[in-house]
Structures are given as C-alpha cells and as structure tokens.
Amino acid sequence: MSIRILVVEDDPLIAHDTSKQLADAGFKVVGPARSVATALKLVAECDAAVLDFKLGDEISEPIARKLKASGKPFVILSGYSKDYLQPLFDGATILLKPSHLADLLAALHRCVDGIPKADHSE
C-alpha cells in the first residue's frame, strides 16, 4: 500500500537514483520515463509525479498540464532557475538540482497529503 510516484527524468543515473530513493522512502515508483510521450502514457498509473524540466529536446510542460487536468500533484526537480520555471509551472513546488533527498521527500509529502494510501497491486 503506497502512493505511486511517476519519475520523469532523462538522465539515467539521476532517474535510477531518484527512483531508488523514493522506493526506499516507501513510495511505489512508476517509470522512470525519459520522454514526454512515455510520461504521458504513465500519468494514468500515478498519484503524483517528480518532473525534470528539460528532457532531451523536449520540456515537461505537457506532462504538467495532463497531471493538473487529472488533479494529480507534482514537484519540479530541475537545474533551471525558479524565476524561469515559475510562469510555466504556476503553483508547483520547484526544487533545484542538486536537491537533498529530505527536501524532495518533504515536497512530495506536502503534495500527496490527503491522497489516501491505496493498494494498487494487480
């Protein structure tokens, strides 16, 4: 029984590290997704998400729009400045890379507060 977090990150090392840290913290990890297309397909399988802003030649704004439309919270984890990202992701928590695990976990817990823990086993 856990909250399902979609990890969207194009760097394989960061994606693996973030996914492992979230799993160790008790979240069920969906993905990681390395592209917008893959992430959009996985939105239905998550309760919340951690999004990198830049995914190769793409940006994660379409994923954020789909998450918002689905009522699913997300955290932006990016190397881009908050001033640049805030207009694109109004209202989202934005953490700058490199981020401490405690900061990411605190932001996720704030996002998912109120989402009931459910058994998502198949």
Q: Is the pLDDT of residue 100 over 60?
A: yes
Structural domain boundaries of the chain?
4-112
Q: What is the pLDDT at residue 52?
A: 93
Lowest mean per-residue pLDDT among 8-12, 23-27, 96-100, 112-116: 112-116
* 8 A C-beta contact, residue 32 and residue 19: yes
Instruction: Tell me the CATH number of domain 4-112, given options 3.40.50.80, 3.20.20.80, 3.40.50.2300, 3.50.50.60.
Output: 3.40.50.2300
For the residues of 35-91, what is the DSSP string, one character each?
A: SHHHHHHHGGG-SEEEE-SEETTEESHHHHHHHHHTT--EEEEESS-HHHHTTTTTT
Among 32-36, 81-85, 104-108, the range of highest mean pLDDT: 32-36
What are the φ/ψ torsions at residue 114 (nearest 5 degrees)? 100, -15
> Between the CA of residue 90 and those of 2, 34, 38, 80, 81, what are the distances in Å?
27, 23, 23, 15, 14
| pTM to 2 decimal places | 0.87
